[in-house]
Amino acid sequence: MTQPNSHHRQRVIRQALLLGLFSTLGPFTIDMYLPAFPEIVKQFDSTASLVQFSLTACLLGLGIGQLVMGSLSDVHGRRNPLLIAMIAYVISSLACAFSPTIGLLIVFRFVQGFAASAGIVISRAIARDLYSGSELTKFFSLLLLVGNLGPLAAPVAGSGVLSFTSWIGVFISLTLLGTYLWAMTKWRLPETLPSDRRKPANFAEQLRNYGSLLRDRQFVGYMLAQGIMMAGVFAYVSGTPFIYQNIYGATPTVFALLFGSNGISLIIGSQIVGRMAHRVSEQAFLRLGLWLALSASVAVLTVAIVHGPLFALVIPLFVFVASIGMTSTAAFPLAMESQARNAGSAAALLGVVPFLLGAVVAPLVGIAGEDTAVPLGVIILATSTAAMLANVLLVRRGPRIAAPLKEPVRSPLH
């Protein structure tokens, strides 16, 4: 029995590593240029809010793109849409690098985010193609383990690039990353959605699929709980470059280390859920994560109001981001469990809400200027409270999701 189990474990790890690479594309696209925010403000003689709007444009692209790419992957399979998206990502990354104005940078960031969305939504749809039940929860936690290395590594990598070149070098690096992922798609990623399980190319039918998902009260509850929480993270992503560097005087390297440390907290939160999937229900973990987020956000707002020391802000933010890892890992399999026939569309909706809400809240962090952290505290407290309400009001008692694999694994990645 040991040998087959060992072989299965190795295959699962290879799958998670490969798909996790595509999941990191979103965090790298979002986070890698964050240490360069003050430099970009000076380069274009712009404002903090306008540079943050380039992040908003990227988040909008990531959100809207998932709706499109998720549906396309249900119709045309997973592989071909991903190949095309990676080509678009390479082109848009180069365009960002050589943008002559802040306005064009904002436009190209939208396109770049749109293309990057394919890596996020299609990797998750592939996971649902291959697994279900508690096996999906465990695999998704492995996928997040790899994917969450992106928030850990991206700002550090960005700071490293900025140490010997300008912000343009960050986008050149993203161009190279996109090229590598295109090659991985071309030569290492087999198709996981057989022709007999694909949806017809019917736009009206796709709209009906989204409509049926949005009428599913449990699905919407999990989607909103996860999405609103993630919107709080994007407020943190948008605000901390200025809070840490302008208010507390951190260097780009120190900022990158502080920001990247929260990648560790994401990993901790997601792995706790994955490792205990057979013992504790996903619903229990979702509730625990929501309570942790609410408590941490109250602490962040308090420190911001009294202008407490840096460590007093970093600690509750670490807990807040860990709660995101916990809620995301728990909410995704709960929402996806009954969506085998609409995995791409369901994964798209689960992905689009965080980015659309994040696009709304990201510019708000800088609305009071670059010298206060109070808006960040207010926003993450509001998002934590709203996510808690969505879970309480919309989610009826659902399955524990500890059942054995319900469907045969098809077209496994080797």
Q: Across residues 197-219, what is the average pLDDT? A: 80
Give per-residue pLDDT as tens, 98-112.
Answer: 999 999 999 999 999
The share of the chain scoring above pLDDT 70, in percent, equals: 88
Q: Across residues 28-42, what is the average pLDDT? A: 85
Query: Residue 137: its pLDDT value, please?
Result: 73
Residue 338 has pLDDT above 80, yes or no: no
Q: Which range (14-18, 163-167, 240-244, 264-268) has the least confidence?
A: 14-18
Give per-residue pLDDT as tens, 271-325.
Answer: 888 778 678 788 889 999 999 999 999 999 999 899 889 889 999 999 999 998 8
Residues in the chain, overall count: 414
* Between 312 and 189, the higher pLDDT residue: 312
CA distances from 94 to 89, 108, 170, 175 (A): 9, 9, 10, 6
Most confident by average pLDDT, 9-18, 105-114, 364-373: 105-114
Query: Residue 405: its pLDDT value, please?
Result: 37
**DSSP per-residue letters across 149-199:** HHHHHHHHHHHHHHTTS-HHHHHHHHHHHHHHHHHHHHHH----S-GGGPP
Angle at which helix 217-242 crosses helix 252-275, to 10 degrees, equals 160
The answer to whether 54 and 109 are in contact (CB under 8 A) is yes
Q: List Cβ neighbours of 356 (8 Å cut-off, separation of 6 or more).
A: 59, 60, 63, 64
Structure tokens at 42: 């000076």
Confidence band for 400, pLDDT divided at 50, 70 and 90: very low
Residue 2 has pLDDT above 50, yes or no: no
* Between 407 and 197, the higher pLDDT residue: 197
Structure tokens at 194: 């057989």
Going from N- to C-terminal start, the domains of the chain cover: 2-191+214-394
Q: Across residues 221-232, what is the average pLDDT? A: 89
Q: Across residues 36-61, what is the average pLDDT? A: 85
Mean confidence (pLDDT) of the chain: 82
Q: Which of 22, 227, 31 is nearest to 144 (CA)?
A: 22
Confidence band for 340, pLDDT divided at 50, 70 and 90: low
Q: Say how far apart CA 56 and CA 243 lie, in whole Å.
A: 18
Query: Residue 8: its pLDDT value, please?
Result: 65
Query: Residue 407: its pLDDT value, please?
Result: 44
Confidence band for 210, pLDDT divided at 50, 70 and 90: confident
Q: Which CATH number fits domain 2-191+214-394: 1.25.40.10, 3.40.50.2300, 3.40.50.620, 1.20.1250.20?
A: 1.20.1250.20
Structure tokens at 45: 């003689």
Give per-residue pLDDT as tens, 237-271.
Answer: 778 877 888 888 888 788 878 877 777 888 888 88
Confidence band for 5, pLDDT divided at 50, 70 and 90: low
Residue 231 has pLDDT above 70, yes or no: yes
Structure tokens at 288: 């625990």
* Between 357 and 259, the higher pLDDT residue: 357
Q: List Cβ neighbours of 281 (8 Å cut-off, separation of 6 or more).
A: 400, 401, 402
Confidence band for 4, pLDDT divided at 50, 70 and 90: low
Query: Residue 148: its pLDDT value, please?
Result: 65
CA within 13 Å, CB half, 70: 28
Q: Does pTM surpass 0.85?
A: no
Query: Residue 411: its pLDDT value, please?
Result: 42
Radius of gyration of the chain (CA): 20
Query: Residue 171: its pLDDT value, please?
Result: 94
